[in-house]
Structure 1
């Protein structure tokens, strides 16, 4: 591989991560930035030519990447999550798909002028929404649980089904001159279903057994699973072309719903891998666009986009949700969100190439028309879905809340102080007396172990963005930090060490720092110290800094009498004081500190000196 090719591949990876980071900063789906970068690198500047860079390996690599993305998505589909929505999801991916595809095909024929066979193929390709666009959009839009689950299930399950429908129509097109076109069509459809379904179930079941009985060492779980996904996808496609996507989706769903299968670490790995592939694929496929062909399609393409957004999707959702528990507002948002993604882009590019070789001149119009729809739906829905969800009143709040492990006096004092200033808190504890006292204080509680299976099903984390481990049981704090780290992020998980952990920070019996979460409130803070301060009458007091009373002045005034816990910025953002943070409050910031009454300050200082 020459240096220019090596640099191009590295640049795709770096730019993909940069787009994801920018999207995270500005709260917009990363696909917008990935498409822009791909178009700039490809058709505008000509710097990136994926066909020349990858040659004949381009579409096999794209196919394998899509297989990993679909497997990762299906690995999150637990049947228990959609209780009450099973019929909605089933309708969306069955007759709802046919309704959507038919309306889109008619629009493509009348507005763009595609022949009926190609229009039907385009309609089939446009039925897929896909996890590559739905899941990143859900992170930004944050609709309520019912809409989120319906969209996620639809996006993952519909990909292989929509691709299967497109394959069947493609096979019909190329065999339509034969004497037994209908028979060939039925045979192809049955073969894909049989091979994809059978291989997916077998692979999922066998891999699950190997994982359940510890026949694969833990350090090989990720590599073994990835290799199995590649093998199942390739094997299925060899036995029945285009059945690989169905096989890996079924395999992931089967694994996700087997009991006692340790899939969490695999899911972490696949999620990171999927994000990397999504970033690269959108840049690569956008770089293959021909802007001249896109311009030639004309205003009819805009009409197709309007029909997709305002007719096809709403009609599909309306018919699929009749008699469902979804409210009218939830159905409206569900009808608005339906962006097209990587499956549509990849399948259109593949079929356009094959049909062009067979003499179908209009096949070259499939790719630019598909990308216009992808760009249009992604841009429109990315910019409008979050405000629309807020307008409808079904958007989850910003994750400003805190889950506090423990409902002891220290945790209750902190919970009351935060709730008083508008932060949603939930205190979780297995000790009923503590939970009862917290409820008497007007605090939201969960009675039980926060890392139990019951908590996984019933603990409502909507709006929760941080975890504070304030239990006197250090092991429970660590376990909770590990349990919620993947969902909340490593930077948002904090634990309060026990006094013994502070005294033996480098001792061989102390839990390693990377497993404890970020240390709360400073190097010398411990549960015993905070409990002692609270028992002596310490209270959490708020002080707002000014230009004339800065942070340094606050430190001089309070000295060792106050332990800083939190700071609230002028914009209302909560900052947690930790041993590893460099928070420097400024003017108009509010400091929340656990402060002793002046009369006990001297006694505490004497006690500390004696114990030292």
Structure 2
């Protein structure tokens, strides 16, 4: 394949991956659907993409290294303090539950697809894994309750290396059985992989943690060090003990995530971005290698197997794993429905199928199309139905339309109270007990403490919260909070008010727009001005526009006395007014504004005028007294000069 064709193919894969991820974000569906479709269209349908021709012998090493990075990123999210609460269920799911799933799938594949028992058992171990690559996007869309979400997340991450390990053991058993020592060889491999992979992974995680904790590397090299360590650990582990690399990198991530004094959040953010890229590219490439003729030739047995996977294997696994737990039947029902297959099943099946075909095993060529059929079937069915099912079962979290306020001062309390009356969840945070006490007296939900603390990460309830408004009078607190929650809410959903300090600072002394977030209201409406208007009687009020009283009439009536901060449109979406936002509301919109009270404003104005008049009179009186004193002094001087000398 010519060089320019290879470059065009790589560019096309990257562009397709980006388009699929964007489309998935727009329609709120897992990206794997669009990635698989893109790969199938680009590969077997049109013939535009042949990954084997593009990458040659590097294809499968690239796949293996990418899967290692993906598993490491997933294991970085595993915290043992969460595992204590749901540990029993997860342990059963990845052991007894996985065994039940694998056996049911293997038996079905043997009798309905005519797989040999060896290939059927390998297929069962390949397709028992769910995987974080499809679980996490689905959880973001479905948003189940915390207990269900944590179980699915832990299961998806832990089952990946276990499933891959079982597949390796079965694969080695198939090869060893032809030499007459299958069982003993398989047990030896299993023990060596478990012990060696766990020990080496723990050592690599501990070593990287020590380097980070003792600051032996500058922060800008942390991501590079983590990535390099993962790749080296994976490769060395596989060289020492065949196929132990996946377990090694998983244990390494878990050790690093739970090591005291080591903050891995910045590494996790980098790995998440890298994983999105790798997952997108892998799915397109592996889907492009599919043989559609093999897929269509599977017949009705493939459909029967897919139904067994969804309606028998998974519910049976959940029933066994959750027996005696505190989960109610609604939560168990949702767990029984959600189990999409992911990238590890696709990648490992592609690798093993190629090797077994070279060994001459009948039916090995069907492993890849059948695995992809299970992936496509489970993802499509569950993506389309899981969110409605979660709402039907009443185990879904509310849509994240709430607001997190940094600061519980009078300005934040006034806005939060108005939003709460409109039906939105609000949470106010502050380190001042007086502000927190006043907020609680007003019936507002609060968190007393620093929102950037470790305690806040573990205890602050952000369920239903989707936006942040930083309303502290201290500019640095606003900047730090928007930087902290930028990744959670997105830069488009983080806002901060301008403070008096920032208006007096030059550009080189102010935080950049990227770190400060969007300016709440506008640059002229600073925190001191809002606080001053509130102290002089201004109030936060809502107004619904009608055909007879529209936007222009609102402006004509209130003019500069009203500062619009929020606007809810006819579809129920609440717009936060920020600098550069062009507001064009129409009939049916509801406006939330800071509105000056006319009577209070007049009183304040009269008071200011009276004080100014009194001050002016005092100054005039002082001048007259000074003038009189001056004239008196002059008279005394003249009189003394007229006294004759002795």
TM-score when scaled to structure 1? 0.96
Distance 1:499 1:192 in 2: 62
Deviates most, 159-168 or 171-180:
171-180
Where 2:297 maps in the other structure, the secondary structure is helix
Partner of 1:179: 180
TM superposition shift of 1:235: 1.0
Where 1:297 maps in the other structure, the secondary structure is coil
Where 1:93 maps in the other structure, the secondary structure is helix
Partner of 1:51: 52
TM superposition shift of 1:108: 0.6
Deviates most, 447-456 or 83-92:
447-456
TM superposition shift of 1:603: 7.4
Question: Do structure 1's residue 596 and structure 2's residue 629 form an aligned pair?
Answer: no
- Structure 1, residues 483-517: CA drift from partner, whole Å, max 9, x if none? 21111111111111221112225252x33332222
TM superposition shift of 1:519: 1.2
TM superposition shift of 1:82: 2.8
Partner of 2:616: none
- Structure 1, residues 165-197: CA drift from partner, whole Å, max 9, x if none? 011111111111223222111111112112211
Question: Do structure 1's residue 204 and structure 2's residue 205 form an aligned pair?
Answer: yes
Question: Do structure 1's residue 587 and structure 2's residue 587 form an aligned pair?
Answer: yes
Partner of 1:463: 464
Where 1:83 maps in the other structure, the secondary structure is helix
Partner of 2:234: 233
Partner of 2:316: 315
Partner of 2:246: 245
Partner of 1:414: 415
Partner of 1:131: 132
Question: Do structure 1's residue 566 and structure 2's residue 574 form an aligned pair?
Answer: no
Are the structure 2 counterparts of residues 245 and 225 from structure 1 closer, same or farther at C-alpha, using a change threshold of 3 Å? Answer: same
Question: Do structure 1's residue 544 and structure 2's residue 534 form an aligned pair?
Answer: no
Alignment of 1:45-194 (within 5 A): 45-194=46-195
Where 2:15 maps in the other structure, the secondary structure is helix
TM superposition shift of 1:37: 1.0
Partner of 1:270: 271
Partner of 1:535: 535
Distance 1:145 1:568 in 2: 29
- Structure 1, residues 130-180: CA drift from partner, whole Å, max 9, x if none? 111111111111111111111111101111110010111111111112232
Partner of 1:257: 258
- How big is the alpha-carbon RMSD for the aligned residues of Structure 1 and Structure 2? 1.7
Distance 1:466 1:304 in 2: 44
Q: Is 1:73–1:131's contact at 8 Å kept on the other side of the alignment?
A: yes
Q: Is 1:401–1:425's contact at 8 Å kept on the other side of the alignment?
A: yes
- Structure 1, residues 219-251: CA drift from partner, whole Å, max 9, x if none? 111111111111111111111222111111111
Deviates most, 179-188 or 345-354:
179-188
Question: Do structure 1's residue 519 and structure 2's residue 519 form an aligned pair?
Answer: yes
Distance 2:324 2:532 in 1: 58
Q: Is 1:575–1:583's contact at 8 Å kept on the other side of the alignment?
A: no
Where 1:77 maps in the other structure, the secondary structure is coil
* Runs of at least 5 residues in structure 2 that lack an aligned partner in the other structure: 613-646
Are the structure 2 counterparts of residues 563 and 604 from structure 1 closer, same or farther at C-alpha, using a change threshold of 3 Å? Answer: farther
Partner of 2:623: none
Where 1:361 maps in the other structure, the secondary structure is coil
TM superposition shift of 1:295: 0.8
Distance 1:555 1:196 in 2: 69
TM superposition shift of 1:320: 0.9
Deviates most, 270-279 or 427-436:
427-436
- Structure 1, residues 540-597: CA drift from partner, whole Å, max 9, x if none? 1222234554434433432221111111111111111111433432332221110001
TM superposition shift of 1:259: 1.5
Partner of 1:472: 473
Distance 2:318 2:605 in 1: 67
Distance 2:493 2:141 in 1: 18
Distance 1:288 1:347 in 2: 14
Q: Is 1:561–1:601's contact at 8 Å kept on the other side of the alignment?
A: no
TM superposition shift of 1:605: 8.2
TM superposition shift of 1:32: 1.0
Question: Do structure 1's residue 432 and structure 2's residue 455 form an aligned pair?
Answer: no
Where 2:227 maps in the other structure, the secondary structure is helix
TM superposition shift of 1:49: 0.9
Partner of 1:289: 290
Deviates most, 82-91 or 159-168:
82-91
Q: Is 1:84–1:325's contact at 8 Å kept on the other side of the alignment?
A: no
Q: Is 2:537–2:601's contact at 8 Å kept on the other side of the alignment?
A: no
Deviates most, 514-523 or 472-481:
472-481
Where 1:281 maps in the other structure, the secondary structure is helix
Distance 1:320 1:133 in 2: 21
Q: Is 1:518–1:580's contact at 8 Å kept on the other side of the alignment?
A: no
Alignment of 1:379-418 (within 5 A): 379-418=380-419
Alignment of 1:26-37 (within 5 A): 26-37=27-38
Where 1:85 maps in the other structure, the secondary structure is helix
Partner of 2:640: none
TM-score when scaled to structure 2? 0.91
Distance 1:604 1:502 in 2: 25
Distance 2:143 2:10 in 1: 33
Q: Is 2:431–2:450's contact at 8 Å kept on the other side of the alignment?
A: yes
Question: Do structure 1's residue 300 and structure 2's residue 319 form an aligned pair?
Answer: no
TM superposition shift of 1:287: 0.9
Where 2:363 maps in the other structure, the secondary structure is helix
Q: Is 1:71–1:229's contact at 8 Å kept on the other side of the alignment?
A: yes
Distance 1:603 1:50 in 2: 77
TM superposition shift of 1:471: 2.0
Deviates most, 427-436 or 209-218:
427-436
TM superposition shift of 1:368: 0.9
Partner of 1:499: 500
Q: Is 1:450–1:480's contact at 8 Å kept on the other side of the alignment?
A: yes
